[in-house]
Amino acid sequence: MGDTGVNTLKITLKSIGIDIKLLPDSWASWGTKFSIWPAHLVTACCGVEFAHTSAPGYDAERWGFLPIFGPRQTNAIVIEGTVTRKMAKVVKVAYEQMPYPKFVIAMGSCAMEGGVFWNSYHVVRVSDIVPVDAWVMGCPPTPEAVIRAIRMVQDKIEGKEVKPNIRPSQFDLTKLKPDKPQRPPNPPHRIEFELIKDINVCKPMPNVKWELGQKLVDGFKSTLGNGVKNAVVRNVNDLCITLDSAGRLREAVESAFKLGFDHVKSINVIDLINAGVFRMEYVLGSYMNKELMPVLLTIYFDVPRDEAKVPSIIDLYPGADYQERELYDLFGVWFEGNPWMGSNFLLDPDTPVKYPLRKEYRIPSLKGVVVER
């Protein structure tokens, strides 16, 4: 336990009338050591292993390690997994609220250096936000590894010399000599898409016979007329319609709505960079119409990449709202009529990139992160 911690405890005890001269420092350390009550900040899947650590099998409370909820009543925080730029602020606010002495355990490869999201546009390392006392390695780490980190924090509180289990360090990769034994992690594998010009999205499976599906497809064809480029039964319970333009979307979803397709399952963008278009994909389904419940209706159309404008459908399908906002964030598709266009939703407002899922976007390489173990 550092001087600040002991002093805080002494001042607190003095205020309630306990003679601090009678209290050796070792008592305070001993008390703190077995009173680590962490707020756990579950940012991702590591949280499951943390729960496991506290469950009866491992019973971390045997070491005086008892998770509680409010950062203002805790002396430790376990940050469990991936921290995005948006979440980094929450981590900082939670940490700032904690009284001294306070300790931080960062859990999982994601917390250490980004893990599977290494070098991406939205993930930050915990050590860049708050000081870390113990790292827990793994993806996900085992409960034994979490317990090891708890023991490390306890040793630290007792004033024992603690050998760090990991020391992240940063240096300029350009200065690395080729024969240097430590190698940086491999950059993410890039797939070159230049050869892909088109994708046949409405390809029917051979020999599919589905009467209801054919009836629905014929209905769409007659309602939308020449606005339909292609309408097929792709498989049983799987209908596919390709429209000739974004201008036909409203008509198509309105007739789908009337037929009983009452919700949007997903809206997606396929970036066909080589054709200069975004292929929009709308998947509709039904919760209320028994016959249509297992049926998926997928609607496709193309919009030019340099002027990607699509009518919003949130008045008809309110569930489309967050998906439209996400696609604006990630691809820059403008949904006309959605009042949130122009503002970030998924990405933190200060994320320094625009439309990171467009194919031309290249992740700027980090200068270099090497983790010594």
Interface ranges with ligand SF4 (CB under 6 A): 44-46, 81-82, 108-110, 115-116, 139-140
Tell me whether residue 146 or residue 264 sits nearer to ligand SF4 (CB atom): 146
210 token code pair: 């589905």
DSSP string, 164-223: -S-EEEE--GGG--TT-S--PPPPPP----TT-----TTPPPTT---HHHHHHHHHHHHH
Tell me whether residue 139 or residue 273 sits nearer to ligand SF4 (CB atom): 139
HEC profile for 64-116?
A: CECCECCHHHCCEEEEECCCEHHHHHHHHHHHHHCCCCCEEEEEHHHHHHCHH
Q: How far apart are CA 329 and CA 361, in angstroms?
A: 13
Q: Which residue is nearest to ligand SF4 (CB)?
A: 81
Tell me whether residue 84 or residue 242 sits nearer to ligand SF4 (CB atom): 84
Q: How far is the CB of 170 from ligand SF4 (least distance, A)?
A: 20
Q: How far is the CB of 145 from ligand SF4 (least distance, A)?
A: 11
Tell me whether residue 83 or residue 284 sits nearer to ligand SF4 (CB atom): 83
- Cα dihedral: 356, 357, 358, 363 (round 10): 50
Tell me whether residue 115 or residue 143 sits nearer to ligand SF4 (CB atom): 115
Q: How far is the CB of 111 from ligand SF4 (least distance, A)?
A: 7
Tell me whether residue 140 or residue 260 sits nearer to ligand SF4 (CB atom): 140
Q: How far is the CB of 114 from ligand SF4 (least distance, A)?
A: 9
Helices (H) and strands (E) in the chain, counts: 9, 13
Reported residue count of the chain is: 373
Q: Are 327 and 278 in contact (CB under 8 A)?
A: no
Residues 6+ apart with CB under 8 A from 303: 246, 277, 278, 280, 309, 310, 333
Q: How far is the CB of 363 from ligand SF4 (least distance, A)?
A: 18
Q: How far is the CB of 112 from ligand SF4 (least distance, A)?
A: 8
Q: How far apart are CA 228 and CA 132, in angstroms?
A: 58
Q: How far is the CB of 218 from ligand SF4 (least distance, A)?
A: 47
Tell me whether residue 10 or residue 85 sits nearer to ligand SF4 (CB atom): 85
Q: How far is the CB of 108 from ligand SF4 (least distance, A)?
A: 3
Tell me whether residue 109 or residue 154 sits nearer to ligand SF4 (CB atom): 109
User: If residue 254 lies in a helix (H) or strand (E), which one and from where to where?
Assistant: helix 249-259
Q: Of 66, 15, 18, which Cα lies nearest the Cα of 38? A: 66
3-to-6, 9, 24, 35 alpha-carbon distances in Å: 5, 10, 13, 18
Q: How far is the CB of 122 from ligand SF4 (least distance, A)?
A: 13
Q: Of 95, 105, 166, which Cα lies nearest the Cα of 134? A: 105
| Tokens 């085992």, located at residue | 142
Q: Are 50 and 94 in contact (CB under 8 A)?
A: no
Tell me whether residue 6 or residue 137 sits nearer to ligand SF4 (CB atom): 137
Max distance between CA atoms of the chain, in angstroms, equals 91
